[in-house]
Homo-oligomer: A and B are copies of this chain.
Amino acid sequence: MTIEKALVVGTGLIGTSVALALRAKGVEVCLSDIDEHAVALAGEFGAGREWSGEEVDLAVIAVPPHLVGERLAELQKLEAARVYTDVASVKADPIADAERLGCDLTSYVPGHPLAGRERSGPAAARAELFAGRAWALCPGTETGADAVALVRELVSLCGAKAVTVGAAEHDAAVALVSHAPHVAASAVAASLNGGDDVALRLAGQGLRDVTRIAAGNPLLWQRILSGNALPVAEVLDRIAADLTAAASALRSGDPGGVTDLLRRGADGQARIS
Contact = CB atoms under 8 A, between A and B. Distances in A.
A216 interface: yes
Contacts of A181: 188, 206-207, 210-211
A247 B243 contact: no
A140 interface: no
A190 B181 CA distance: 11
Number of copies of chain A assembled together: 2
Most chain B CB inside 10 Å of its own CB: which residue of A194, A243, A258: A243
Most chain B CB inside 10 Å of its own CB: which residue of A163, A213, A272: A272
A204 B129 CA distance: 12
Interface in A178-192: 178, 180-192
Given A184-B210, A215-B273, A243 B236 contact: yes
Q: In the A-B complex, list the 10 residue pairs whose CB atoms are closest, starting with the nearest.
A: A186-B265, A173-B199, A192-B268, A218-B262, A189-B268, A190-B264, A214-B265, A233-B247, A240-B243, A229-B250
A39 interface: no
Contact of A272 (B163, B208, B219, B255): B208
A101 interface: no
12 contacts: A116-B206, A180-B188, A181-B207, A183-B258, A190-B242, A195-B271, A200-B272, A214-B265, A219-B259, A222-B262, A230-B251, A240-B241
Interface in A227-253: 229-230, 232-244, 246-248, 250-251, 253
Given A114-B204, A247-B233, A269-B211, A199 B184 contact: no
Nearest to A209: B209
A212 B205 CA distance: 11
